[in-house]
Structures are given as structure tokens and as C-alpha cells.
Amino acid sequence: MTFNELHAAELLDQEREHIASWRGPGVLVIVTHNSNIKALTGLNIEEGDIIVSDPMARSATSLFAYWPVTDIPTALAKQY
């Protein structure tokens, strides 16, 4: 494993710990790159897509919701 791979693995572990330790108040919103989302959830999403997941999840198996960016304006319009 190269230094960069090792460092990336360490950073990902730190992110998992940060997410798992979140206790609020409110919700934890994370805006990040596709590569981080894929590493944390196994999902390969497009730029602007939204996922809602169990903070203890290490895969997409605990996914609560997924909105492709193309569906977000439609979903928001239905609420109002």
C-alpha cells in the first residue's frame, strides 16, 4: 500500500468515526466528493445527487432515500 493509499484509508476511517459519533442536535449534513460517498456507502452517484443513510452504515444496504439531481426540483415542487 502506498503512502497516499494509507493516508486515504486513515482519513476514511476518521470520517466513519465522525459520522458514527454524531449525536446532534439536528441532522448531520455532509457535502463531499463522489469518491468519498462511494467509499462510505458503495454508491456511485452523480454530481448533485442526494442520499440519506444510516450513520452507522458502511454500505448502501442502510440507505433511507436517494434523489438523483434531476428529480430534486420535482420533489421540492410537490411539497409546496
What digits encode the pLDDT tens for the residues 2-35?
658 778 888 888 888 888 788 888 888 888 888 8
pLDDT at position 38 is: 85
Q: So where are the chain's domains?
A: 3-79
In this structure, the number of other CB atoms found within 10 A of the CB of residue 40 comes to 20
pTM comes to: 0.61
What digits encode the pLDDT tens for the residues 25-75?
888 888 888 888 888 878 888 888 888 876 665 555 566 777 777 776 665
Residue 65 CA: distances (Å) to CA of 8, 37, 60 = 27, 14, 10
pLDDT at position 8 is: 83
